[in-house]
Chains A and B, each alone.
Chain A
Amino acid sequence: MDFWINFWTIFFIASLVLFAGLAIVVSIGGFFNIRSLFKSLTNRDGQRAGNEEPAE
């Protein structure tokens, strides 16, 4: 049983540390991704509206 106790203890601590790192990186990176997603959706809508305007 001692093997499993030690194994899960190390596994749990390592996972916590790993996830804390991931949470920081993804939070920062995700913010910039959202900005660029909105920018691309807005630009594409603008282009589509431009294409639909009748030629004068």
Chain B
Amino acid sequence: MDLSAIGIDTNFGPVDWCIVVGYLIIVVSFGVYIRRYISNVTDFIVAGRGLKTFLAVATMIGTELGLVTVMYSAQKGFTGGFAAFHIALAAAIVTLVVGLTGFIVVPLRRMEVMTIPEFYEKRFGRGVRILGGTILAFSGILNMGMFLKAGSIFVMGITGMTEDIHLKVIMSVLLGMVLLYTALGGMVSVAVLDYIQFVVLSFSLLATSLLSIRYLGWDNIIETVSALKGEAGFNPFHSEGFGASYVVWMFFLGLVSCAVWQTAVIRACSAKNIRIVKKIYTWASIGFLIRFLLPYFFGICAFVYIAQHGPLKSIFIPHEGSADSQVTLMAMPVFLSQILPAGFIGIVSAGMLAAFMSTHDSYLLCWSSVLTQDVVAPWFKKGLSSNARLLLTRIFIVAIGIFILVWGLWYPLGQDLWDYMAISGAIYFTGAIALLVFGLYWKRASKVGAYLALIAGFCAVVGLNPVRGLVFRLASILGLETAEIQASINGMPGARLSAIIGLSVISMAMVLMVAGSIIFPDRGGSSEYKE
């Protein structure tokens, strides 16, 4: 996509480059410097469990308000209009309820586990921990597989770089910086850098919202969305838009992303005490709201701006069909590159890139610790030393980094990034939610029920387009008639399909957890967990 050929130039200039490069050098150097405070694996993974309320809130929002979140949310705002706001509302309500009640997170913190699979072992035994850890790491790494690509598309959109080689170079450079300070600094550097990123990004996002309204005009935004998307652009229950099943799915995702998703739960595990866990979640509900809401709004503004600029409209909102998901991802950065003034655009980009790195560092740290603590370490009967765990975690960080570089370059996205994220995450959380809810609140939950729920959750993998294609191909080789099912799936909007698959798999995992526990109860009380 060559935007300069159609007369679209970016406001991003040499001053902005200096701001971005200078900011990133300072941030990475600081992260490396903090290495001196790390003396054991607990410091590395949960910052010695010393995070207090405000810092924990900042790191939680800092992690969740990453560039990737901004990108996939802006894409959802671009394609769904104001109706996409319901996702932010659902996330805020659910996080607030978790904060007020301590649902799932308080019992987990009380048990002093570092990862969710560690809970599996205490409750259901070592085998469930290894299986759960493997599925969690697989799902989590797959989930972050598109992060590098989304970050690089942002850089390309905002700076005006359009060559394919730019994408590869930017992805490699960004990954190198993240790996450097995550592998060295662990959770202490993650927490401090998340804080810096929270401050820069919060204020620059607020300012960008006001500038967007000033540039486009609130009435103009409403009228354009109304004219081009109709009621589906506002009403989330409208059949031509998201639909009721998608809204229900978003409430589940809200619960998952704050109380079941390991990167968020690790914040609860890092908190100083249970009172602080509740406070973090109550405060962070505003962050969980904003991390979706503002990017949706930028996506909506990008839609309005592009709809009123002919050359751009033909690329991003074609008359027939819809634009490719990689193209709609670029809409928000292109819009920002047009309306933000030189200098300020550099600050916003630096904040976004810092956000990109802060999400990456948390995710890399999280999945590598799961692989070390829950997949590898349980195999050693005498246990692994703290130094061996630290070394292993660092090796996994680099290995995951290399994987996401290759995956980001190779995988054809083919659906909204948010739906890819939801379905790849569902491979883990649909099973995990059953284990957590029943394991924490139902004494009869058994090991067999846990295994069945985890295996059922893994079925969510069919929500990914290439896997579904593979399943249909296998079915046709086996002589099964699938044409009718394929036709009805192809005619369904991608978002609704992911909702139906996600909700079906969650129901299946819950049913199997209950049935497995009733039919095959635990004998002899293998569980160490006592309420």
Cα(A26)–Cα(B37), bound, Å: 23
Cα(A35)–Cα(B55), bound, Å: 10
A36 to chain B, nearest CB (A): 7
Do A26 and B226 touch (CB < 8 A)?
Answer: no
B85 to chain A, nearest CB (A): 5
Do A25 and B52 touch (CB < 8 A)?
Answer: no
Q: Knowing A1-B234, A41-B37, say if A30 contacts B209 (CB, 8 Å).
A: no
Do A1 and B293 touch (CB < 8 A)?
Answer: no
Cα(A28)–Cα(B202), bound, Å: 13
Q: Considering the complex, give the chain B residue whose CB is closest to the CB of A27.
A: B199
Check: B144 CB closer than 8 A to any chain A CB. Answer: no
Q: Knowing A8-B85, A12-B85, A41-B37, say if A34 contacts B192 (CB, 8 Å).
A: yes
Enumerate chain B interface residues (CB-CB to A < 8 A). Answer: 37, 39, 43, 47-48, 50-58, 61, 82-83, 85, 88-89, 188, 191-192, 195, 198-199, 202-203, 206, 209, 218, 222, 226, 230-231, 234-235, 283, 286-287, 289-290, 293-294, 297
Do B222 and A5 touch (CB < 8 A)?
Answer: yes
Do A23 and B206 touch (CB < 8 A)?
Answer: yes
Do A30 and B89 touch (CB < 8 A)?
Answer: no
> Chain A residues near B47 (CB, 8 Å)?
37
Do B206 and A20 touch (CB < 8 A)?
Answer: yes
Do A16 and B206 touch (CB < 8 A)?
Answer: yes
Do A30 and B54 touch (CB < 8 A)?
Answer: yes
> Chain A residues near B52 (CB, 8 Å)?
33, 36-37
Do B226 and A37 touch (CB < 8 A)?
Answer: no
> Chain B residues near A33 (CB, 8 Å)?
51-56
> Chain A residues near B222 (CB, 8 Å)?
5, 9
> Chain A residues near B293 (CB, 8 Å)?
12, 15
B133 to chain A, nearest CB (A): 28
Decide if the interface of chain A is mainly helix, strand, loop or mixed.
Answer: helix
> Chain A residues near B195 (CB, 8 Å)?
30-31, 34
11 new A-B contacts, CB < 8 A, other than A38-B37, A41-B43, are A5-B234, A11-B85, A19-B202, A19-B287, A19-B294, A23-B198, A23-B199, A23-B206, A29-B55, A32-B54, A33-B56
Do B55 and A11 touch (CB < 8 A)?
Answer: no
Do B57 and A30 touch (CB < 8 A)?
Answer: yes
Do B55 and A37 touch (CB < 8 A)?
Answer: yes
Do B50 and A37 touch (CB < 8 A)?
Answer: yes
B368 to chain A, nearest CB (A): 21
Do B235 and A1 touch (CB < 8 A)?
Answer: yes
> Chain B residues near A48 (CB, 8 Å)?
39
> Chain B residues near A19 (CB, 8 Å)?
202, 206, 286-287, 289-290, 294
Q: Knowing A1-B234, A15-B290, A23-B206, say if A30 contacts B50 (CB, 8 Å).
A: no
A26 to chain B, nearest CB (A): 5
Q: Which of A3-55 contact B (CB under 8 A)?
A: 4-5, 8-9, 11-12, 15-16, 18-20, 22-23, 25-34, 36-38, 40-42, 44-45, 48
Give 9 A-B contacts (CB < 8 Å), ordered by A residue.
Answer: A4-B231, A8-B82, A23-B203, A26-B283, A30-B57, A33-B51, A34-B55, A34-B195, A40-B48
> Chain A residues near B234 (CB, 8 Å)?
1, 4-5, 8
